[in-house]
A and B are shown apart, each in its own frame.
Chain A
């Protein structure tokens, strides 16, 4: 009885393939690690530098007139971010959801809907600074001294959010099963009522999730605010009157113009930490709603 002479996988050609396979796997794993590195670094720096300056007074004090010296807080920027992003959401979300409803429920494949869909996609590609320039030209300049305001910034952010909300709403509505709609029609409801009482409630978690993600994106935007909101050193809750400030703008100013001063660097890291917390909060809540929606979709 002879033992098998050679194990089956031992020819040189096969080890060449094994080698390639191993290299490829190594590449894939390395890619993931490469993507992790900047993420870990950024999170580490923001957490470490940001928390060293973070305190209750940092969050609630007014901005100091001098960025060069330590002291003061970022409360006006937090107020500005919440108020301006809130105003932008108040304009863009209802309009965007309605637009998404039009595209999926009424427009379908019709010519108007196709044009609107195409334009919405084009609009997502408009660089955010062009949005800011646009609002500066048609809203801020004509209003002269009353032009710079939180509302101008909200307009620019709203233009940014609108196409995103329209497209995500349309995508979600597409996944609502037609049986639900047909059942409602069969019971005698007209289209508007069906949409209002059946389709939208079913899709609600998904729509909310999409809107929250758009809001999170808008909260982090700087370029649209550069020429539209001016600057403020004390909190301005009135979005329509008076210049305002926001967390991304403060990070940009403290890092860019005043970055040579350590006090400004600390302030920038602190503001970055606050901003990331706000953005992550919205993103997390959006994810929860998405999970809710997928569970509901799987149940039906």
Chain B
């Protein structure tokens, strides 16, 4: 009798301690932030222009919400819009808007454009010993159309009197895949060099026959890097990572501006934002504005049929508009200006989860 009560006296506190410890562990979660959303897997594809940013922000988001897996496949804005129309992916990245005639093929009904970040499209080149090249829209148009064929052309020399330009042949590099970067670059040329640029604008354009093509932004960067005398358009993050030289472009105010996130923010803040949150920061006014600042959006269907996926998408977007905006400059992307950011946050609420 005495022995049993002695054991019991140890048993009760022991049970209390064990109970406290296990409930504490349950509350704290297993070695990480409490997962509130998911489990869900989101498949996405699309623009390679913001891909360095999305990769970073997806990684940060997964650390926070371990139940959500996001697979962003890249492939170009064209692929993103096509996969989105076919409903093969849960959301898509695109630097360009749907053409009116393509909206009929979108199988999932109403959708929303969510702007995420903006960044400069650099004009990168490979020329030994030539730094800080300065180019205007007219010269750019003539180069990319094949009218200016070598680096020592008088038009280039006029803008760069002190540069040592040899008679190296110019090799134009463009995208092989359907690209929002191409679309934004050609839209800029159409707006800024209207009399000179004849190839129009779009996610693919009829480039000349002796040009080179690359897959994705980094593919173009790779071709430029390995080809002497090459010039092409590459997103800022990839151009920096590949250590390419990029040109300063003459903006509307007549100043030559080098690509940077600050110059991009200057351009974006001047752009007019429509009700569906689309906007056009290309060829912006303002002396600090970089003229080829490109926008990018995430496309999401308004009516989400899968609860877990719908919640995951909303959580991801909210993350992009919260911590994601702070991450952007560290990977060379410009965060959205406050007014646009507030509108975007409000639009997230429009996503209806079943």
Say if the two chains contact directly (CB < 8 Å). yes
C-alpha gap A232/B43 in the complex (Å): 9
Min CB distance, A251 to chain B, in Å?
A: 14
Which residues 214-260 in A have Cβ within 8 Å of B in the complex? 230-234, 242-243, 256-260
Asked whether A65 lies within 8 Å of B56 as measured between CB atoms, the reply is yes
Task: Please name all residues of chain B whose beta carbon is closer than 8 Å to the beta carbon of A140 when the two chains form the complex.
Answer: 88
Task: Please name all residues of chain A whose beta carbon is closer than 8 Å to the beta carbon of B222 when the two chains form the complex.
Answer: 258-260
Asked whether A243 lies within 8 Å of B43 as measured between CB atoms, the reply is yes
Tell me whether B160 is interfacial, beta carbon within 8 Å: no
Min CB distance, A6 to chain B, in Å?
A: 63
Min CB distance, A235 to chain B, in Å?
A: 11
B-facing mask of A66-89, CB < 8 A → 1, else 0?
Answer: 101000000000000000000000
Asked whether B241 lies within 8 Å of A147 as measured between CB atoms, the reply is no
Asked whether B58 lies within 8 Å of A141 as measured between CB atoms, the reply is no
Task: Please name all residues of chain A whose beta carbon is closer than 8 Å to the beta carbon of B215 when the two chains form the complex.
Answer: 256-257
Interface residue from B72, B88, B218 paired with A258 (Cβ < 8 Å): B218
Asked whether A66 lies within 8 Å of B56 as measured between CB atoms, the reply is yes
- Assuming the contacts A144-B87, A145-B88, A148-B88, asked whether A261 and B242 have C-beta atoms less than 8 A apart, the reply is yes
Task: Please name all residues of chain B whose beta carbon is closer than 8 Å to the beta carbon of A144 when the two chains form the complex.
Answer: 86-88, 107
Task: Please name all residues of chain A whose beta carbon is closer than 8 Å to the beta carbon of B309 when the two chains form the complex.
Answer: 145
Task: Please name all residues of chain B whose beta carbon is closer than 8 Å to the beta carbon of A243 when the two chains form the complex.
Answer: 41, 43, 71
Tell me whether B93 is interfacial, beta carbon within 8 Å: no
Asked whether A66 lies within 8 Å of B55 as measured between CB atoms, the reply is yes
Which residues 60-101 in B have Cβ within 8 Å of A in the complex? 69, 71-74, 86-90
Residue of A nearest to B226 (CB): A260
C-alpha gap A257/B214 in the complex (Å): 8
- Assuming the contacts A256-B215, A259-B219, asked whether A145 and B90 have C-beta atoms less than 8 A apart, the reply is yes
Residue of A nearest to B216 (CB): A257
Interface residue from A68, A141, A147, A230 paired with B71 (Cβ < 8 Å): A230
C-alpha gap A232/B58 in the complex (Å): 13
Residue of B nearest to A232 (CB): B71
C-alpha gap A145/B84 in the complex (Å): 10
Asked whether A257 lies within 8 Å of B218 as measured between CB atoms, the reply is yes
Tell me whether B250 is interfacial, beta carbon within 8 Å: no
C-alpha gap A59/B122 in the complex (Å): 36
Task: Please name all residues of chain B whose beta carbon is closer than 8 Å to the beta carbon of A148 when the two chains form the complex.
Answer: 43, 88
Interface residue from A68, A232, A233, A234 paired with B241 (Cβ < 8 Å): A68
Task: Please name all residues of chain B whose beta carbon is closer than 8 Å to the beta carbon of A66 when the two chains form the complex.
Answer: 52, 55-56, 59
28 contacts between A and B (CB under 8 A): A65-B59, A66-B52, A68-B241, A140-B88, A141-B86, A141-B88, A144-B107, A145-B87, A145-B88, A145-B90, A145-B306, A148-B43, A233-B71, A243-B43, A256-B215, A257-B216, A257-B218, A257-B219, A258-B216, A258-B218, A258-B219, A259-B222, A260-B218, A260-B219, A260-B221, A260-B222, A261-B218, A261-B241
**Nearest 4 A/B pairs, CB to CB:** A260-B222, A144-B87, A66-B55, A65-B55
Tell me the A residues contacting B by CB distance below 8 Å. 65-66, 68, 140-141, 144-145, 147-148, 230-234, 242-243, 256-261
